[in-house]
Every structure is written in C-alpha cells, then in structure tokens.
Amino acid sequence: MSSTKHTLFEEVSAVFERACREKDFALAEHLLSALETIARRQKDQRQLDLAYLVLAASCEEGGLSLERPPSRHWDSARTPILGSM
C-alpha cells in the first residue's frame, strides 16, 4: 500500500474544489479563507489564483453573478443593504 504525501494546501484545495462543484458556496467561502491564509504564509499567490478561477467557474456554471450576490438585498443604486441577509 503506497502513501502519497500531500501538502495542507493541496488537501484543503481538493475539498474547496468539491464544495464548488457541489455549489456549496457557504463552505467554499470558509475553505477559500483557509487557502488564502496558507498562501499568505507560503508567499505563493500562484496556487491561490487557481482557487479563485475554480470559484469563478463554479459561479458561472451555477448562474450566479459575481457582480450581484444572491444572498444580499440591494437598493436601487445597487448598493448592498447590510444586515438584511
């Protein structure tokens, strides 16, 4: 039985990608935060850029607009109304 070593970033990234595929964006948000922390510590933005692309692609596939998130209410000037989630 062979054991492949993966970095923490790789393991969290795999779960993040699954959350995005399954459209579990609440979980994906927390995992992205963890990925950002790891990337900041390692001073490696390249891996993090891929995570942002995965999220963007998932949002496009799900019909979500990055310009106007569905979980917030917006006024007529397209300003988020805080506290009305």
pLDDT at 47: 83
The chain-wide mean pLDDT, for the chain, equals 77
Range of the domain at 19: 8-81
What total of structural domains would you count in the chain?
A: 1
Using CB atoms within 10 Å of the CB of residue 16, give its burial: 0 to 12 exposed, 13 to 18 middle, 19+ buried.
Answer: buried
For the chain, the C-alpha Rg in angstroms (whole number) is 16
Inside any domain, residue 77: yes
Inside any domain, residue 31: yes
- pTM of the entire structure? 0.65
pLDDT at 46: 87
Inside any domain, residue 68: yes
